[in-house]
Amino acid sequence: MHNIRMQKTGKRLELDYLYGGEVVYQPGEKLGPRLLTDFELVYIINGNATYIVDQQTFAAPAGTIILGRAGSTETYEWDTAHTLRHAFFHFSIRCLPVDWSSPETWPRVRTEASPVVVGLFRHIMLHIYEHTDWPAVSPQERDCLLVEVLMDTLFETHYKQEMSFELNRSEPVRCAIKWLREQIDERPRQHIILEAIARAAGCTPKHLCRLFKKEIGHSPIQTATLMRLQLALGLVIHTNLTMGQIASRCGFDNPLYFSRCFSKTFGLPPTRVRQNITQGTPPPTDPLPIDITPRLYW
C-alpha cells in the first residue's frame, strides 16, 4: 500500500492524525480518480452517489458509510439530479490493534450502516470541529478509542437492521416477566401463583403457558423459580452474604431447599460456586437470558 505508516501492532488503535469536514456537491459533479494515501470514512447524508474503487462499483445512497483504504484508486460520481452532502474524516494509523484483520480485508461500503456507527461517526465529527490544532497535533487516546470502536462496529456483519434492546417476545410474555421481576424485587417472600402471573399478562393461564414454553422454554412458574436462582447466583458471586441471607432475599423459606434447587439448576451447591470463584473458576451459565435477571442489590 502507498504511504501507510503502521509501524506496529498493539492492544489499542493509535492514530498519527485525524481531520475531516462536510462537503456539498452540485448535481452531476465528480471527484477523482484519485489515489488515497491514508484512510477515509465517508457518510452520505443526502443524495445518491456511485463509488468506484479498484475497478469495483458500489451504489451509495443516503445513509451509506464508505471506508476508503489507503493505497486505493477511487472515484465518486455524484447524484445527477440532486445536491449531495456528505461528511468525512481522514486518519493515518500508527498502531493497529493486534486482533484486527489486515486492512485489505476491511469492508468498503455499508449501504445501511448500523445506527451505532452513524452515532459514533457524528460524535467523532464533533470532536474534530472542537480541535482546531488537528491534524498538526495527534489525537489523544480517547479520540483514538472512539475511532477504534467505530471501526470495530463497522466490521460487524451480523447486526440487526431494527435496532432494539428488547428481544422478540410477545406482549403477554413481556408483561409477565416485568411483573415477575417486580415481585421478586419488591416482595421476594410472597408466593407466586400462575393465575396472578396470567392476570398481569392479560391472558389466560393456558395461553400464557403456551407462550412461555415457546419463547422462554419454561413454564411461567418454572421461570419465576429460575429468576430467583439467577438472582441468587449473582449474590453468591458478588456478595459476602450467608447462604441463609441469600435464600431469604431470593424468596426461599428453607435454606436447605434453596441449596437443593441451586444445585439442581447449576450443578454445584452455592458454597462450592463461591469457593470456585475465589480460585478463578468461571461461574455456571445463567439458566435464563440475562435481560430477565431481577435487580441485583443487597
Number of folded domains that form the chain: 2
Q: Is residue 297 part of a domain?
A: no
The Cβ of residue 40 has, within 10 Å, a number of other Cβ atoms equal to 18
Regarding whether 52 and 189 lie in a shared domain, the answer is: no
- pLDDT for the residue 259: 97
- pLDDT for the residue 290: 80
Vertex 259 angle, CA 257 and 264, to 5°: 95
Regarding whether 19 and 70 lie in a shared domain, the answer is: yes
Regarding whether 187 and 139 lie in a shared domain, the answer is: no
Q: Is residue 165 part of a domain?
A: no
Regarding whether 281 and 213 lie in a shared domain, the answer is: yes
Q: Coil, helix or strand for 169?
A: coil
Regarding whether 66 and 193 lie in a shared domain, the answer is: no
- pLDDT for the residue 296: 82
- pLDDT for the residue 164: 47
Regarding whether 132 and 12 lie in a shared domain, the answer is: yes
Residue type present at position 288: L
Q: Is residue 3 part of a domain?
A: no
- pLDDT for the residue 7: 52
Regarding whether 257 and 118 lie in a shared domain, the answer is: no
Q: Coil, helix or strand for 231?
A: helix
Q: Is residue 83 part of a domain?
A: yes
Rounded mean pLDDT, 248-262: 96
Rounded mean pLDDT, 40-68: 94
Q: Has residue 8 got a pLDDT over 90?
A: no
Regarding whether 127 and 13 lie in a shared domain, the answer is: yes
Domain finish residue from 93, 125, 155: 155
Classify residue 72 by burial, with Cβ atoms within 10 Å: 0-12, 13-18, 19+: buried
- pLDDT for the residue 4: 46
Q: Which three cell numbers stand for residue 72?
A: 486505493
Classify residue 8 by burial, with Cβ atoms within 10 Å: 0-12, 13-18, 19+: exposed
Q: Has residue 208 got a pLDDT over 50?
A: yes
Q: Has residue 283 got a pLDDT over 70?
A: yes
Q: Which three cell numbers stand for residue 128?
A: 474534530
The Cβ of residue 241 has, within 10 Å, a number of other Cβ atoms equal to 15
Q: Of the given ranges (2-16, 66-80, 128-142, 219-233), which has the lowest mean pLDDT?
A: 2-16
- pLDDT for the residue 162: 43
Q: What DSSP string describes 132-163?
A: TTTTTSPPPHHHHHHHHHHHHHHH-----SS-
Q: Which three cell numbers stand for residue 194?
A: 400462575
What CATH number does residue 235 fall under?
1.10.10.60
Domain finish residue from 93, 122, 155: 155
Rounded mean pLDDT, 184-211: 95
How would you classify residue 76: left for phi > 0, otherwise alpha for psi between -120 and 50, otherwise beta?
A: beta
Q: What is the mean pLDDT of the chain?
A: 90
3 pLDDT tier (thresholds 50, 70, 90): very low
Regarding whether 180 and 95 lie in a shared domain, the answer is: no
- pLDDT for the residue 292: 87
Q: Is residue 205 part of a domain?
A: yes
Residue 131 and residue 89 in contact, taking contact as beta carbons nearer than 8 Å? no
Domain that holds residue 47: 8-155
Rounded mean pLDDT, 133-138: 89
First to last CA, the chain: 57
Rounded to whole angstroms, the Cα distance separating 178 from 8 reads 50
- pLDDT for the residue 155: 85
Instruction: Report yes or no on whether pTM surpasses 0.75.
Output: no
- pLDDT for the residue 172: 96
Q: What are phi and psi of 86, to 5 degrees?
A: -145, 155
Domain finish residue from 155, 179, 203: 155
What CATH number does residue 112 fall under?
2.60.120.10
Regarding whether 262 and 146 lie in a shared domain, the answer is: no
Residue type present at position 298: W
Regarding whether 126 and 62 lie in a shared domain, the answer is: yes
DSSP designation for 287: S
Q: Is residue 1 part of a domain?
A: no
Kindly state the percentage of the chain with pLDDT values over 70: 93
Rounded mean pLDDT, 5-28: 85
Question: Greatest CA separation found in the chain?
Answer: 77
Regarding whether 123 and 61 lie in a shared domain, the answer is: yes
Number of helical H runs and strand E runs in the chain: 9, 10
